[in-house]
Structures are given as structure tokens and as C-alpha cells.
Homo-oligomer: A and B are copies of this chain.
């Protein structure tokens, strides 16, 4: 876990609800969150509204995965009594903040955002970018500031989103003459992104190269079995390449016995260590990791009311906080309000 965290920061993190989570999420974020929740005030946003920015044609999928991702959270050890799990669409203040912030950001600035540029390319939008997609960094700024988050765990590639948020924060603080919103700091995980089982840079459900947190023992065995290793390591006795070898990337990520992994690496380099030994080791480590998560998921999934209660309670807590931020900001901007209660 990264070490540069102040005591009791407010953390906002979460996931787009487009599919169940997988081992890439586990290594990159879930594991950290389970640890961070004990030291900080942590909010987990189920970003269904953001997921719609490129899934507007399939809102049912987005909604179904609100439940799936919640199951993943609980199964890995997120404790809903200390972390708050919020569905984004249940928090109207975030939509209101988004609309307000859109007035403080130019279209040209959004188009220059490197993260957005990359993602537009990756999705093949061309000129047909949905306006909501172009605007989503502003919606993220609303999410982060709505919870007054000061610490946001993100990958290195998402730094521009934090910078966009802080630009809006500084602009609003300058205009109101008060520190009405805090700036946020990125929390970059120690471990980089987990590659897919096919060796591609990113594990992703849509690429078919992911091991989901609900994977069975057989599925895990199959996935590890299909992993490429060093293509020049033809016989057990040949010296093998460790760098870029996907099995070792996974062992580095999941094998807690660092010393044993170091020994295996030396052995592999000088020859005499077969891929099957490594694959068996990785398989049993992953099976041991996933089995309790999968079982927990299965048993939680049977009690839908329990899940709904957690989401309802999280929505209530999230509403209170984001609504308060909105009102404080509106007041600082010199606007009054009508709550519509009469």
C-alpha cells in the first residue's frame, strides 16, 4: 500500500459499473481500499451515471452491474459500516455540481485533456463524441469535490483528471474568496497495472483476458495454463527470461513469499525451471485468493435485500454530504436556494 497518506484523509474512489470486477481491479485498487478504509474516511462511488457516458444504449447492463460491483466490494472485504458505498445516480447534487462546473471549463480545455483524447481514440468515437463523454472529467470533479475528497487513488494515466478537478477548485476558491473546496491529491498505487492473461497491457473483461473475482478453480487453472511465458524457453533446461514474463508479473503481484519468488527468478534465469512448475504455483495462489471471495460473493448474492439496504444507506449518507457541499458552495457564490419543501 502506498505510504504517502495523511491520517484521516477523505478518499473518493470507485468503479464504473460496466461489468463485475476482476483480479486487475483487485491488485490495482480493491486490495488498497480494504486497507485504506481503516485509516481514512473512504467513499466508494458506483459510477453508473459515468458508465452511461459510453453505454447510453445499454442502461440495463450498467444498472445490473451496480449490484455485481457491490458484491465484489463486499466479498473482498470492503466493510460497509466503515466505508460508504454510494450509487452515483442516487446523488443529484453531483449532477448539479457538474452543470455548475461546466461553466468554468472551456470546450477547448476538455478537448485537450490527454486522458479524454486517448479514450476517445480507444473507443473509436471519431467526431461523434457523445457530449456527456467529453464532459465526464467535469463530472469527476463534481464527484471528488462533492465528497470533499483530498485523496483520490488513480492510475498514472488519470493524473490529468485530478489536475482538471484542481483547476476548477482553484477557480471557485478564487471567485468566492474562500477555501470553499479542498484540492485533491492523487494516490498512485505502488503496483502498476496488471496485464491480461494474454500478456496485453491491461486486464479487461471486454478483451476476454480477465480473471473475474467469481472465477472457479477450473477457470483459474485454464487461464493460467494459457498464459504465454518466454517464447525462447523451449526446454526446462534452457535459461529463461524473467523480465516481461507474464507469469512472473503475476507472481510479483500475488505471491506473498517474496523470497521464494526471488529464488524462482534466479532459477528460471539460469535454466532448469519449467513453466509448468511456475504455472502450478501461480494457479494455487490465485485459487486460494479467489476461493473465499467467490464463496462470499455467492452467499451475499442470495440476500438481495441486504445488498439493497447497504446501497440505500450509502445513498442516504452520500446525499447528505454532497448536498451539504453543494449548498455551501452555492452560498459562497452568493446564490440563495429553494429546497422545494413546503
Chain A residues in the interface with B (C-beta under 8 A): 48-49, 52-54, 56-57, 59-60, 62-63, 87, 89-93, 95-96, 98-100, 102-110, 127-135, 138-139, 175, 311-313, 315-316, 318-319, 330, 333-342
Assess the A335–B128 pair: CB atoms within 8 A. Answer: no
Contacts of A107 in B (CB 8 A): 107, 127, 129-131, 134
Nearest 10 pairs between A and B by C-beta? A102-B132, A92-B92, A60-B334, A103-B132, A56-B103, A315-B338, A90-B338, A319-B340, A315-B340, A95-B95
Q: Which residue of chain B has the shortest Cβ distance to A90 in the bound complex?
A: B338
Knowing A93-B92, A131-B135, the reply to whether A63 touches B339 (Cβ < 8 A) is no
- A-B pairs with beta carbons under 8 Å apart, 29 shown: A48-B335, A52-B103, A53-B102, A56-B104, A59-B334, A60-B335, A63-B334, A90-B340, A92-B93, A92-B96, A99-B99, A100-B132, A102-B130, A103-B130, A104-B130, A106-B127, A106-B129, A107-B129, A107-B131, A135-B135, A311-B338, A312-B338, A312-B341, A313-B342, A315-B338, A315-B339, A315-B340, A316-B340, A318-B340
Contacts of A59 in B (CB 8 A): 333-335
Contacts of A63 in B (CB 8 A): 334-336
Assess the A99–B132 pair: CB atoms within 8 A. Answer: yes
**Known contacts A60-B334, A62-B335; 11 further A-B pairs (Cβ under 8 A):** A53-B103, A59-B334, A92-B92, A92-B95, A95-B95, A99-B132, A106-B127, A107-B131, A131-B135, A131-B138, A315-B342
Assess the B340–A103 pair: CB atoms within 8 A. Answer: no
CB distance from A117 to the nearest CB of B (A): 13
Assess the B131–A342 pair: CB atoms within 8 A. Answer: no
Contacts of A339 in B (CB 8 A): 90, 312, 315
Contacts of A175 in B (CB 8 A): 57
CB distance from A52 to the nearest CB of B (A): 5
Question: What separation, in Å, do the CA atoms of A110 and B312 have in the docked complex?
Answer: 36
CB distance from A334 to the nearest CB of B (A): 4
CB distance from A167 to the nearest CB of B (A): 13
Contacts of A315 in B (CB 8 A): 338-340, 342
Question: What separation, in Å, do the CA atoms of A97 and B341 have in the docked complex?
Answer: 21
Knowing A63-B335, A315-B338, A334-B60, the reply to whether A105 touches B90 (Cβ < 8 A) is no
Task: Find the residue from A57, A128, A132 having the highest chain B CB count within 10 A.
Answer: A132
Question: What separation, in Å, do the CA atoms of A89 and B316 have in the docked complex?
Answer: 21
Question: What separation, in Å, do the CA atoms of A330 and B89 have in the docked complex?
Answer: 10
